[in-house]
Structures are given as C-alpha cells and as structure tokens.
Structure 1
Amino acid sequence: MRVAFVSLATVHHRDTETNRRLQTICELLEEAGHDVHVFCAQFWDGEHDTFEREDVTYHGLVGEPDARSAFALRLPTALAGAKPDIVHASANPPGQVVAASVGATLARAPMVLEWYGDGGVRNDRWRRWAAGRADRIHVPSELVATWLRELGVGEDALETVPNPIDLERVRSVEPDDRVDVVYARRLDEGANLESLLLGLAELRDRDWSATVVGDGPERERYEQLASDLRIDDRITFAGDCSLEERIAAYRGAHVFAQTAEHCVFPTEMLWALASGCVGIVEYHADSSAHELVEGWDRGFRTTSEDELADAIVAAGDLEYREYDDRFAAYDRSEILDRYLVGYRTLQESSGLF
C-alpha cells in the first residue's frame, strides 16, 4: 500500500509530540513493507526535491516550515502525481488540511486526519472547516475526541488510536534496582512534580525510595523543594535516560506516578504499566492519563496530595511485577493492524479498493 503523509514540519524539523506521533506511524508502515511518502518542508542539504531516509521517501515542497502558503499551493498537484492509496495528513497547520483534501480528491484516495492535540484544540473557523474535510479523524485519547466533538465533529468520524509501545522490548530489558515510586517527564512548567513530592512528604515516617527520570528548566527548583521537604535523601534525580534505561527503571519500580496537568496521551506511563508498575494518576481536566487506569485493579485516580499519598500506601498491598500482559493491545503490531484495517475500510467504502 502506498501512503502519502502530509506534514509541513516533521520530527526532523521540530521534536514535538505531534511530529513524533506521525513519525511512529511512518515507521510502523515502513517496517511492514508499505510504500511511505512524506510531503513536507525540506530538511536535508542540497538542491534535490526528494530524500530517502530509512526507506521513507520525503518530498520537499518548500525550503522551510514557515512557507505555509507555498506548501499549500504545491501540495494538491504533488499528491495527485504520487498516486497514493491513502492520504494521511497532520491536522496542524489547518491550512495544509485543505490542500491535502484537494490533493486526495485529485488522487482519488481517501483522506485520514491525524489530530494529536498537543497544545490543545482551538475552536476557530479554520479548524472547524479542516475537521470536516477528512474521511476519518484519528485521535490519541477520549480527551482529544471530546475536544473535537466540541468543534462539531460527529462521533462516527472519530477513531481513538493510542500511541504504541514495543512489548518485546519491554521483556528484553533487565529490571533496575527496586524502588517504590518512579516519575518520568520533562521537568518544565507543566510537570507538576510538586504534587508527588508533597504526597511523598506525607509519608516521611514510612520506608520508601523514589526515582525522578527527566531533565528540564524546573529541575533545580524541584530538587530544592525535595530538600526543603527533607526527603531529598530518598529521591534520585536520574536526569535524561535512554528508553532502555527508562524501561529498566520501570521494571524495577513498584508504582508509576503521573501528575502532569497537560497530557493528551501518557506514553511514558504506558511503558511503565506494561513494565509491571501500579499506576497512580492525579486527575486533571486537560490530561487523559486517567483513561489508562479506569476500571483497573492496579490503578488509582487521585485529586490531591493526601489522596496520592494514600494511594501509594494502598499500592504497597499489591504484588510487585516486572511485566503486565494487560497492555498487549498497545503493542506496535496491534496498532499497525488498526491503521491498516482503517485504511482498507475507507478504501472499500469509497469504492477504491
């Protein structure tokens, strides 16, 4: 199957959640032997308009991601010439969705819109119009689906497809030293690590250890807070770690705590839960993390530092695990299959299969 992705900026331009999501889908399809093309701004040196990287063909329609008008103008003809079976476009910027829709019509291909939602979903005329152009809209969580329904998108047009993880990779990594609690995220203004630190401070009279994975501009402030709370001797700030190092930490930990205020899909938490961690989520209106633990006997949803501390204590009564097969549906192979089934269903319903 030939799939044409449309994303003015890619992960090779900007390392954002949206761009990483689209890159992951490209990799899944390429690894399965499909013909993957990405229409984007050029990120490589030289005069040539196309670039091969890891068996994905990139088409540079403009020289830089700021050239939105020129990209939208050239995209329809470029898509029609590529003759894709599916056009799969990123929702941001919305102007490219309009051009991608025209190109998909010229190519006689269905169009899927990938609406990840990091940064929220603004309710404006362009986005409402873009939302109505796709045959199908993929979102990572029910949280983002709710935002799109508020734009007027019908339930039948939406499909929730989570970020994938690699369960074979989880099983292949040796567990790190045992700790009671692990937290992982970039330590910026949205990390809200103080909720966990305050909760742990409530448990000073108990024996526990914790690891904080991640770095960022707020790290020094959080380290100072741990010191002020007199719990710094029990917390290891590990800084940035590779995926293998993070999986090892999760397999060695008993609890993974998610307290960030904004999260359209908790990918790190999913890696941790598959690695056997008990999940504790502090509920926030702009976070979907609670969706992973709802109705699960190894998951807790909290709304305050006191409740978080109580959940850590209660989690101590649950068995320690190094792997949990409950999350098999999130494996890369399963998510790939969901995309392929969706593509073929659209082709059949359009009479193009």
Structure 2
Amino acid sequence: MRVAFVSMLTTHHEETPATRRTRRTIRFLQNNGHEVAVLCAQWWGGDVPEFEHEEITYRRVTEEPSARGFASKLPFALRKVGADVIHAANRPPGQVAAAKTAGRFLRTPVVVDWWDDTGHTRSGYRRAAKRADLVVAPSQTVKTQVREYGASESDIEVVPECIDTSLVDEVDTDERAQLVYARRLDEHANVESFLLSLAELRDRDWSAAVVGDGPERERAERTARDLRIDDRVTFLGALSDADLVSVLKGAHVFVQTAEREPCARNLLWALACGCISVVEYQVGSSAHELVEGRERGSLATSPQEIAERIAAAGAFDHWTVDESFNEYDCENVLGRYVDCYERVVDGYGLF
C-alpha cells in the first residue's frame, strides 16, 4: 500500500509526542513493505523539492512552515504522489481540510491521526473532525474530544501509543530512585503535585527522580528546594527510552500528575517495567485509562492522596517487568493503522 503522510511539521522541525508518533508509524510501515511519502514543510538545505533521510522520502510542500500556505499548495503535491490512502496529522487542522479536498478529486480516502486540539480555533478542528473518512485517536479521552467536534462514533478508532517491550528485557536496572516522575517539563507537567506528595512523606526513607526537561524545570527545582527535599530528588533531564527504562526497572513507584496527556507513554513504560503506578486524575489527561482496574495502579486527586498511595505501595513486591503490557508493543499496535487504511479503502470501493 502507498501512503501519503501529510504533516507540515516533522521531528526535524520539532520533537513532540505527535511528530514522534508519526515517525514511528512511518518506520513501521516501511519495515513491513509499504511505500511512504511524507509531505511537509522543507527542513533540509538547498533548492531540492524531495529529500531522502534514513530511507524516508520527504517532499516539500512549502519552504517554510505556514499553515495557510501549506494548505493551499497541498492538493497539488498530493496529486503527484498517487497514494492509496492519505494519512494526515490533525495539526494544523487546515491541512486536513486541504487533504480531504484533494482526496475527493483523487478518489483517495483520508485518515486523520488526532493527537491534541491546542493552538488552533475550535472551528478549524470541527472541520477537520467532520471531513475525515476515519479519525485515529490515541485514547478514549481523545476519542470523546473528537466526538465533541462532530465526528461520529463509528468513524473514530483508538490506536494507543506503543513501546518497544524488548527494551524492558534488554536493559540493565538502575536503582538510583525508588520513586519516579517522567515527562517534558512544560506548563502542563504539574510536577509540583509530585513534589508536594514527597514532602508529605519527608519522615520516611525514600529517593526520587524527575526525568524530563523543559521550560518549567528551573521552577520545579526551586520548588524542591523550597520544600527542603532537594537532597533526595534528582533531576535527570531528558533520557532516551533505554535509559528511562533502566531507571524505571529500578524504581518501585511511578507517579503521573500531568494536566494534559493524550496518551501517557512514559506511564506505559513504567507499567511495563512493573512499577506501582499512581495517577492523579486530571480532566485533560487520559492517564487514568491505563491504571483503572489494575491491581498495581491507582488514582488520586491530591498530593495528600498521592502520598497515601505511595506509602501503600510498600505492600507490593518489586517487579522489573509486567508482561501483560506486551499488547502495547509497537509490532502489535502499529499494525492497526494498516487495518484502518484497508477499512477506508474498502469503503471507497462501495461508491
């Protein structure tokens, strides 16, 4: 199958959960015999309209990232690709409308991979949701969000984030921290809840690590100092998946407090590494979906409750792997995209 990926921004423009999700999907498809072309804003040097990097073919739609310019030129670019299916990221939403316009003339269905709805108008996202032939969401929380924009229940499929579970077996255990928080430290990180819960436990013996970097790191470090727990909390910065897994295998408890999380991939890693996982419930986060109904996971609504759940985790044995999360291995998850493509292609054949 030939798939045209529409994503104005790629990991070469910015490393985000959404662009990394797209890159993982592209590599899976290529490794399984599918042809892929990525239509994006140019990120490489020179006046070259097409560029191959790590066996992925990128095609220039615009020289610079510009939502309006990208949307206006996209139909012409798609006409040259000759794809069986168009896979479009939902941000910016204007590229979805442009992809659907092109798809209508080319008789090519459009699958929209929906990550989040920040940074653009609700009307733009409403048009994107309604114009897709199928929307792929990373969680039930995001699926509900897409339905609120007007997409029908039957036109939304949940394909969660995935992990390479072989890493859990391969990497060594790093026992530097018993309690771990991991996420990019931005305005939605809410790492303060984790630190406040640790302060509630200052009379107990523990060591903690915060994994991740970002604009809120300095404030988080200051909070740890103000709470007088900085001598027991290590800020490790951003880590590779392998290094994160190593730390998680040595940890006993993972705490998730972020206010916004379409799919909590770091929590997924922690669960696969056998961590007792405590999730602070947040309206804008899907993290609770991964722990509900699981013995080694629980929900909390405040730093005090998080502290109570951490203390209670001492009753559980330490694990370094939980094989029940093998279902989230990328080889198992990413094949669902192919099922989605085949579904919409078959649907087009009915008319």
TM class by shorter chain equals over 0.9
- CA distance in 2: counterparts of 1:88 and 1:32, whole angstroms: 17
- CA distance in 1: counterparts of 2:17 and 2:234, whole angstroms: 26
**Aligned-pair distance for 1:314?**
1.2
- Residue 231 of structure 2 aligns to a residue whose secondary structure is helix
The farther-off stretch of 94-103 and 36-45 is 94-103
Q: Deviations over 1:232-261 (max 9, x none)?
A: 222222222222211100011011101111
- CA distance in 2: counterparts of 1:216 and 1:42, whole angstroms: 26
1:202 has 2:200 as partner? yes
Contact 1:18–1:118 under 8 Å retained in 2: no
- Residue 216 of structure 1 aligns to a residue whose secondary structure is coil
Q: Tell me which residue corresponds to 1:280.
A: 278
Q: Tell me which residue corresponds to 2:151.
A: 153
Count of aligned residue pairs for this structure pair: 350
Contact 1:121–1:147 under 8 Å retained in 2: no
What amino acid does structure 1 have at the position aligned with 2:112? Answer: L
- CA distance in 1: counterparts of 2:163 and 2:74, whole angstroms: 32
Q: Tell me which residue corresponds to 1:297.
A: 295
Q: Tell me which residue corresponds to 1:188.
A: 186
**Aligned-pair distance for 1:118?**
5.6
Q: How does 1:9-20 map to 2 (within 5 A)?
A: 9-20=9-20
- CA distance in 1: counterparts of 2:219 and 2:132, whole angstroms: 44
Unmatched runs of 5 consecutive residues or more in structure 1: none
Q: How does 1:247-326 map to 2 (within 5 A)?
A: 247-326=245-324
**Aligned-pair distance for 1:294?**
0.7
- Residue 305 of structure 2 aligns to a residue whose secondary structure is helix
- CA distance in 1: counterparts of 2:97 and 2:216, whole angstroms: 39
TM-score scaled to structure 2, two decimals? 0.94
- Residue 221 of structure 1 aligns to a residue whose secondary structure is helix
- CA distance in 2: counterparts of 1:264 and 1:290, whole angstroms: 11
1:239 has 2:237 as partner? yes
- Residue 322 of structure 1 aligns to a residue whose secondary structure is coil
Contact 2:117–2:125 under 8 Å retained in 1: no
1:92–1:218 CA distance, 2 compared to 1 (3 A): closer
- CA distance in 2: counterparts of 1:219 and 1:93, whole angstroms: 28
Q: How does 1:71-90 map to 2 (within 5 A)?
A: 71-90=70-89
Unmatched runs of 5 consecutive residues or more in structure 2: none
Q: Tell me which residue corresponds to 2:103.
A: 104
The farther-off stretch of 183-192 and 127-136 is 183-192
The farther-off stretch of 200-209 and 263-272 is 200-209
- CA distance in 1: counterparts of 2:246 and 2:148, whole angstroms: 40
- CA distance in 1: counterparts of 2:47 and 2:216, whole angstroms: 42
Q: Tell me which residue corresponds to 2:41.
A: 41
What amino acid does structure 2 have at the position aligned with 1:264? Answer: P
- CA distance in 2: counterparts of 1:302 and 1:146, whole angstroms: 22
- Residue 257 of structure 1 aligns to a residue whose secondary structure is strand
The farther-off stretch of 131-140 and 226-235 is 226-235
1:188–1:135 CA distance, 2 compared to 1 (3 A): closer
- Residue 131 of structure 2 aligns to a residue whose secondary structure is coil
% identical aligned pairs: 49
Q: Deviations over 1:270-325 (max 9, x none)?
A: 11111111111011111111111011111010001111011001111111111111
**Aligned-pair distance for 1:178?**
5.5
Contact 1:262–1:284 under 8 Å retained in 2: yes
Q: Tell me which residue corresponds to 1:25.
A: 25
Q: Tell me which residue corresponds to 1:213.
A: 211
Q: Deviations over 1:106-143 (max 9, x none)?
A: 3322210111116378532x322221111100111111
**Aligned-pair distance for 1:55?**
1.7
**Aligned-pair distance for 1:190?**
2.4
- Residue 326 of structure 2 aligns to a residue whose secondary structure is helix
- CA distance in 2: counterparts of 1:197 and 1:71, whole angstroms: 43
Contact 1:84–1:107 under 8 Å retained in 2: no
- CA distance in 1: counterparts of 2:269 and 2:287, whole angstroms: 13
**Aligned-pair distance for 1:227?**
2.8
Q: Tell me which residue corresponds to 1:58.
A: 58
Q: Tell me which residue corresponds to 2:162.
A: 164
1:242–1:150 CA distance, 2 compared to 1 (3 A): same
**Aligned-pair distance for 1:265?**
1.2
1:121–1:180 CA distance, 2 compared to 1 (3 A): farther
Contact 2:276–2:297 under 8 Å retained in 1: yes
- CA distance in 2: counterparts of 1:240 and 1:154, whole angstroms: 38
The farther-off stretch of 8-17 and 140-149 is 8-17
- CA distance in 2: counterparts of 1:301 and 1:121, whole angstroms: 31
Contact 2:221–2:230 under 8 Å retained in 1: yes
**Aligned-pair distance for 1:77?**
2.9
Contact 1:5–1:87 under 8 Å retained in 2: yes
What amino acid does structure 1 have at the position aligned with 2:308? Answer: D
